[in-house]
Chains A and B, each alone.
Chain A
């Protein structure tokens, strides 16, 4: 009995869970929608590889800190919660820092000062405060995952654009011994280095944000139009249904209403 009931419940649950993860990626993307975590976004997105590395490092910290904050949410006194959260986050950042230095030294060097600065990345503190401190562990982990993925995707997108325009390459990087990436012909000779400079970071983010606004405005308008259209069709169907119903009811036992609505049809019969 219990087993057969599970899938239905699970499916319902799954939809709720995927909403938590998906919300962080699209509807409330931390970079493009909530405008949080600007410093690493602008500073590290000079190349796709660095963007990806920063995104993953921040995601790991976000998931771990969300989990721990959620676990301790009933223990931490309200008054000292912010220092407590910061301490939890700083611990995980230190761990990530040590791991990167040991295993991916190239990325460790590229991220530089922005790696310890994950501690003050407002996305992580904001999620601890706004979500993990009031939700269950599982949901908090998923929220961290969604937000982290949204952050990573945003960094990756900006990184690809800036690397292509600013250095003329695609995804150049190294992991341990392996080096990868594509240099696009003699494109590096024509690269616009302003795009890997700070000015290019502000500009690229501004333009991408405007493009996303334009697209989401357009799809929202389209959706509204579609809804209006569907609404009309449904209204039509309901009216027909009601008329038919009344007409058949009128055939069985004519009432004042039915006669009024289905006048002509009854005569035909």
Chain B
């Protein structure tokens, strides 16, 4: 039951983009078409899952060494290195997936959702037990899934909006933001689901 709540919570109730404002840059920048949005979403799920595990381990090392204040620097380095590593591995062993993810993979380094999930994991689950590692991993993967849902929905809306007669000052980002606002309002309704 705990895990079920965790999954629903990460995907809908605390949706990263629409409720916590993490990962807004790719959310607004890479949501013009549904297929590129899907590519970005999958890449984010992938990296967020792995990053959750590795930053959990790194935090354990930092605490053991008594240098927790280096958390930010250590995490961003781990994430940058991970993204590079994932890129290499995918290129070698799964070229199809690699070319599908394309340019979005390196962009993930500067996606604040990844660093955000790493820091939030440590804050909310700690590093005490193996269970907290599993929770962190699940939170990473399903927060990524929440991001994918949000960016896919917005991309669908934007594709339709492309052929609508939007007032001139609203064209481009303003109308996208208004659409995101309405989506966010809808997602607020999920907050009643988990007390």
Q: Which residues of A does B touch, CB under 8 Å?
A: 35-40, 42-43, 82-83, 86-87, 90-91, 93-94, 97-98, 113, 116-117, 119-122, 125, 194, 197-203, 205-207, 209-211, 213-214, 217
Contact = CB atoms under 8 A, between A and B. Distances in A.
Given A113-B119, A117-B116, A42 B111 contact: no
Contacts of B185: 194, 199
A157 to B, nearest CB: 15
B9 to A, nearest CB: 16
25 contacts: A38-B21, A39-B23, A42-B21, A83-B77, A83-B80, A86-B76, A86-B77, A86-B109, A87-B77, A94-B72, A97-B72, A113-B116, A117-B22, A120-B115, A122-B110, A198-B20, A198-B21, A201-B21, A201-B181, A202-B178, A206-B173, A207-B178, A210-B169, A210-B174, A214-B169
Given A120-B111, A198-B184, A206-B181, A87 B73 contact: yes
Given A83-B77, A199-B188, A35 B182 contact: no
A39 to B, nearest CB: 5
Contact of B76 (A40, A120, A194, A206): A120
Given A86-B76, A209-B173, A199 B181 contact: yes
7 pairs of A and B residues whose beta carbons are closest in the complex: A206-B177, A202-B181, A38-B24, A43-B21, A214-B169, A203-B181, A210-B174
Nearest to B24: A38
B34 interface: no
B80 A86 contact: yes
A229 B37 CA distance: 48
Contacts of A213: 168-171, 174
Interface residues of B, number: 46
Contacts, number: 127
B20 A43 contact: yes
Nearest to A121: B112
Nearest to B110: A120
Contacts of A200: 181
A206 B184 contact: no
Given A39-B25, A116-B119, A209 B174 contact: yes
Nearest to B107: A122
A203 B28 CA distance: 14
A117 B181 contact: no
Contacts of A87: 73, 76-77
B71 interface: yes
Given A199-B184, A206-B174, A206-B181, A119 B72 contact: yes
Given A38-B27, A82-B80, 15 more contacts: A39-B22, A87-B77, A116-B119, A119-B72, A119-B76, A120-B110, A120-B112, A121-B112, A122-B25, A199-B181, A203-B181, A206-B181, A210-B175, A213-B169, A213-B170
A201 B177 CA distance: 9
B51 interface: no
B180 interface: yes
A206 B73 contact: no
B180 A90 contact: no
Contacts of B36: none
A209 B177 contact: yes
A120 B180 CA distance: 22
A220 to B, nearest CB: 12
A206 B177 CA distance: 5
Contacts of A203: 177-178, 181
A197 B181 CA distance: 10
Contact of A117 (B69, B112, B175): B112
Contacts of B73: 87, 90-91, 94
Most chain B CB within 10 A, of A43, A117, A119, A120, is at A120
B70 A39 contact: no
Contact of B182 (A98, A119, A199, A211): A199
Interface in B124-169: 167-169
Nearest to A210: B174
Contacts of B116: 113, 117
A64 B103 CA distance: 29
